[in-house]
C-alpha cells in the first residue's frame, strides 16, 4: 500500500490485490480508461434520447461521486466547507477529469468553472468542436459534490452547463441551484 498526499486536502491510498488483480484507491475499486472510452460512452448517452441518456449518465456520476466524497469526508473527518471543496477539486483532478474550481458555493446555489477537461478536450481531439455541451459526467460530479459538501441527499441540486470548452470557450461554466 502506498500513501500519496497530493496536498493538505486529499490523501489517496492505492492498493493492488494480486488475488483478484484489482486496483483500489481508498478502498474503492478504480479502473483506467482513455478519452476514446469516455467520449464514446458520452456519445451513447447523448444519442439515447428516448431514455434521456444525458440525465442517466449525470445521475450515475452524481450517485458515484456523492458516495465517494461522503465516505471520504466521514472517514477523514472533513467538516469545513472550504476543506470539503478542496478535497472535491483535488479528487476530480486525481481522476484525470481536469481542473475544476468552485467559484462560489452555498446551500442554495453555486458556480463552478472548469479550466481543463478530459471529456471536452477528449471530444475535441476525437471529433472536433460542437456547440452543445457534452460533459454530463462533470454535471453529475458537481451535483453529487454539492450534496456531499452541504450534507444533502442526492438529487438536491440541478446543474446547468452554461459555457463549454467543447464549443470553443476557454473554460466551461456550471451553474448550480437547489431543486
175: its cell numbers = 451553474
Exactly one of 13, 16, 160, 162 binds another protein (CB under 8 A); which one?
Answer: 16
Give me the residue label for grid cell 453529487.
144
Find all residues with CB under 8 Å of 139, minimum gap 6, and list them. 58, 61, 133, 159, 160, 161, 174
Exactly one of 7, 8, 13, 29 binds another protein (CB under 8 A); which one?
Answer: 29
Judge whether 161 and 173 are in contact, CB under 8 Å. Answer: yes
Give me the residue label for grid cell 452541504.
150
Output the smallest distance, CB 107 to another protein, in A.
Answer: 26
Interface mask toward another protein for 31-50; x: CB under 8 A: xxxxxxxx-xx--xx--x-x
Per CB under 8 A, does 144 bind another protein? no
Interface mask toward another protein for 78-117; x: CB under 8 A: --------------xxxxxxxxx--------------xx-
Per CB under 8 A, does 61 bind another protein? yes
Give me the residue label for grid cell 457534452.
134
Give burial (CB, 10 Å; 0-12/13-18/19+) of 173.
Answer: middle
The helix (H) or strand (E) run that includes residue 22 is strand 22-25
Output the smallest distance, CB 31 to another protein, in A.
Answer: 4
110: its cell numbers = 453555486
Exactly one of 9, 10, 46, 53 binds another protein (CB under 8 A); which one?
Answer: 53
Q: Which residues bind another protein (CB under 8 A)?
A: 2, 4, 14, 16, 18, 20-23, 25, 28-38, 40-41, 44-45, 48, 50-51, 53, 56-57, 60-61, 63-64, 68, 92-100, 115-116, 118, 121-122, 125
Amino acid at each position: 500500500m502506498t500513501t500519496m498526499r497530493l496536498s493538505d486536502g486529499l490523501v489517496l491510498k492505492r492498493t493492488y490485490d494480486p488475488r483478484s488483480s484489482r486496483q483500489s484507491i481508498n478502498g474503492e475499486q478504480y479502473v483506467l480508461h482513455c478519452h476514446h472510452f469516455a467520449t464514446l460512452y458520452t456519445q451513447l448517452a447523448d444519442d439515447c434520447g428516448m431514455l434521456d441518456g444525458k440525465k442517466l449518465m449525470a445521475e450515475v456520476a452524481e450517485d458515484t461521486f456523492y458516495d465517494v466524497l461522503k465516505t471520504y469526508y466521514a472517514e477523514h473527518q472533513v467538516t469545513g466547507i472550504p476543506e470539503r471543496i478542496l478535497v472535491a477539486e483535488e479528487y476530480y483532478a486525481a481522476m484525470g477529469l481536469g481542473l475544476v474550481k468552485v467559484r462560489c458555493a452555498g446551500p442554495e446555489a453555486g458556480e463552478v468553472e472548469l479550466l481543463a477537461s478530459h471529456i471536452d478536450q477528449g471530444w475535441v481531439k476525437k471529433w472536433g468542436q460542437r456547440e452543445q455541451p457534452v460533459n454530463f459526467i462533470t454535471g453529475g460530479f458537481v451535483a453529487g459534490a454539492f450534496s456531499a459538501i452541504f450534507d444533502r441527499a442526492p438529487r438536491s441540486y440541478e446543474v446547468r452547463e452554461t459555457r463549454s470548452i467543447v464549443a470553443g470557450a476557454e473554460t466551461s461554466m456550471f451553474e448550480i441551484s437547489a431543486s
